[in-house]
Amino acid sequence: MANELELQVKQLEAQLKELQENQPKDQLSIIVFSGDLDKVLAAFIIATGARAMDSEVKMFFTFWGTSILRAKNKSGNGKDFMSNMLGWMLPKGSTQAKLSKLNMGGMGTEMLKSVMKKKNVSSLESLIEVAGELGVEIAICQMSMDLMGFKKEEMIDYPNLSYVGVGTYLSDAQESKIQLFI
C-alpha cells in the first residue's frame, strides 16, 4: 500500500514537472507582416511597452515588414535585375514607410508625422532604437529576404538581430503567453 502511494506521488510529481515546463512564459511574440507605418508603429509601441512590463519580446519580421528594417544609407551588392527592381519599389527603411490608410500620395503620411511630433508621440525610428536598448529581439524571415532580394549588409544595425525560418517563430510563439500578427 505504502509503495503504491509512493509510486503515485512520483507519477504526479513527474506530471507536474512536465506541465510546468510546457507552461507559456511571460513572453510576447509578434509577427510583423505589414510594412505600413501605422501598423509597424503599433507593433513597436506594444513591444517596448511589454519590455517596460518586464515581458520578454520577440518580433518576427516577414514579407512587407522586412523592408522596415532596411538601412537608409546602405545597399546590397550583387543583386539581379528583379531584386534591384523590387528594392527600388519597396520602402527603404522606416522613414519611407507609408500609412495603410489616408496616405494620399504621401501627404497623409507627412501630416500624421507632423501631428505625432506635435503630440509627443515617438517616431518609428526612435521606437526602434528604444526597442534595441530595451532588449527586444528581432528575427527576420530569411525566406522573405531571399524573395525580396534583400542582402544582410543593407539591413539596420540592431543589437539583437537574427535571420531565421518559420520553425524559430513557431517555437518562440509556443512559449509565449501573448501572440500577435500585425
Partner 1 sequence: MTVEELKGLKSDKVVDARGTACPGPLLAAKKAIGDIQPGQIMEVLSADEGTKSDIPKWSKKQNYEYLGSIDEDGMYRLFLKK
CA distance 97 to 112: 12
CB of 172 to partner 1, least distance (A): 21
The reply to whether 80 sits near partner 1 by the rule CB under 8 A is: no
From candidates 51, 79, 113, 151, binder to partner 1 by CB under 8 A: 51
Sheet holding 56-61, edge to edge: 161-164, 137-141, 56-61, 25-32, 176-181
If DSSP codes are grouped into helix, strand and coil, which group holds residue 137? Answer: strand
From candidates 53, 73, 78, 101, binder to partner 1 by CB under 8 A: 53
CB nearer partner 1, residue 127 or residue 155: 127
From candidates 24, 49, 106, 135, binder to partner 1 by CB under 8 A: 49
CA distance 164 to 66: 12
The reply to whether 134 sits near partner 1 by the rule CB under 8 A is: yes
| Footprint on this chain of partner 1 (rule: CB under 8 A) | 45, 48-49, 51-54, 119-122, 130, 134
